[in-house]
Structure 1
Amino acid sequence: MPKILPATGGDVVEVILADHRWFEEALRELRDVRSDRSAVLADLATVLIAHAEAEETKVYPSLRRKDAIDADEVEHSEHEHAEGNEALLALMEVDDTGSEDFSAKLHELSEALTHHLDEEERDVLNPARTDVTDEVRRELGDRFAAERARLIDAGCGDIANVRKVVAAEQQN
């Protein structure tokens, strides 16, 4: 089972990519009927919620101010986070991790998440690589890591919090 990676800061692109690779490994683990799916899902929920919230509060606004990404890209990424969070919640609400319902909901989460990772790596991280200085990327990475850690420590992946996040996103 992939352990929750501590985000230690550094270049924001590399820190975000490390989480992306971790998400892919967690999804592989969730597909494996021999794994402790409940534990993997709990870890995935924690990291996914923390990651998205930290991006939206610490990374996207700064990249927008630096003109690396535009308002439409920010809105699109936030919309994809909301879709992923809805799919995450639907999966968390399935009681039987061995059921067809779990498998179907896992497929929906996997589709939403892999689509978002692909687009973010191409449309957000590439401009961050080329349009933002190394110093700014390190500063953003440190801010992202600190916020991600704070959210993880606060238990952001708890189902009650995920429900709250999804409800807030649906009101926007």
Structure 2
Amino acid sequence: MPKILQHTGGDAVEVILADHRWFEEALRELRDETSDRAAVLADLATVLVAHAEAEESKVYPALRRTNAIDEEEVEHSEHEHDEGNEALLALLEVDDPASEEFSEKEHELSEALSHHLDEEERDVLNPARTDVDEEVRRQLGAEFAAERARLIDEDCGRIENVRRIVKEAEARRKS
């Protein structure tokens, strides 16, 4: 099982990319029927929620202020986080990690997450590299890492919290 990365800072782009590679490894572990799928899922849920929440509260607003990305890109990325959270919740609600249902829901999460990682790396992180000063990216990396660590310490990936996040996203969409 991949060990949860504990970032202390650095260039925000590199810190986010390290999480992306970690997600890919965790998804590979979830597909492996011989792995401890429940433990991998618990770690993935925690890191995925912490990562997305820290991006939305620290990274996206800063990139928007520097005009590296526009409001439409922020909204699109947040929408993809919502879709990922919905897929994550569906997987967390499967009782048997050895079941076909678990495999199906893991596939749905994998597709949603892979799509988001690809788009974010192209449409958010590339402009961050080229349009944001290195010192700003380092400061942003420290802020992202601190918020991510705080959320991990709060066990933000527990199913009750994921349900709350999904419910709040549904309410935002209706308003």
2:136 is the counterpart of 1:136: yes
Identity %: 78
Looking at structure 2, the residues matched to 151 and 166 of structure 1 have their Cα atoms a distance apart, in angstroms, of: 17
Looking at structure 2, the residues matched to 89 and 102 of structure 1 have their Cα atoms a distance apart, in angstroms, of: 12
CA shift for structure 1 position 155: 1.0
1:86 counterpart residue number: 86
Counterpart residue type for residue 36 of structure 1: D
Provide structure 2 residue ranges, at least 5 long, that are not aligned to the other structure.
Answer: none
Counterparts in 2 of 1:1-172, with a 5 A limit? 1-172=1-172
Looking at structure 1, the residues matched to 160 and 50 of structure 2 have their Cα atoms a distance apart, in angstroms, of: 14
Provide structure 1 residue ranges, at least 5 long, that are not aligned to the other structure.
Answer: none
Looking at structure 1, the residues matched to 156 and 127 of structure 2 have their Cα atoms a distance apart, in angstroms, of: 29
Q: TM-score, normalised to structure 2's length?
A: 0.98
CA deviation vs aligned residue, 1:18-43 (integer Å, no higher than 9, x gap): 00000000000000000000000000
- Alignment root-mean-square deviation, CA: 0.4
CA shift for structure 1 position 8: 1.5
Q: TM-score, normalised to structure 1's length?
A: 0.99
CA shift for structure 1 position 118: 0.2
Looking at structure 2, the residues matched to 133 and 31 of structure 1 have their Cα atoms a distance apart, in angstroms, of: 39
User: Following TM superposition, where does structure 1 have runs of at least 4 consecutive aligned residues deviating by more than 4 angstroms?
Assistant: none
Counterpart residue type for residue 142 of structure 1: A
Instruction: Count the aligned residue pairs.
Output: 172
Range with bigger deviation, 33-42 or 3-12: 3-12
Looking at structure 1, the residues matched to 105 and 22 of structure 2 have their Cα atoms a distance apart, in angstroms, of: 19
Looking at structure 1, the residues matched to 29 and 132 of structure 2 have their Cα atoms a distance apart, in angstroms, of: 35
CA deviation vs aligned residue, 1:125-163 (integer Å, no higher than 9, x gap): 000000000000000000000000000001101111111
SS at structure 2 position matched to 1:107:
helix
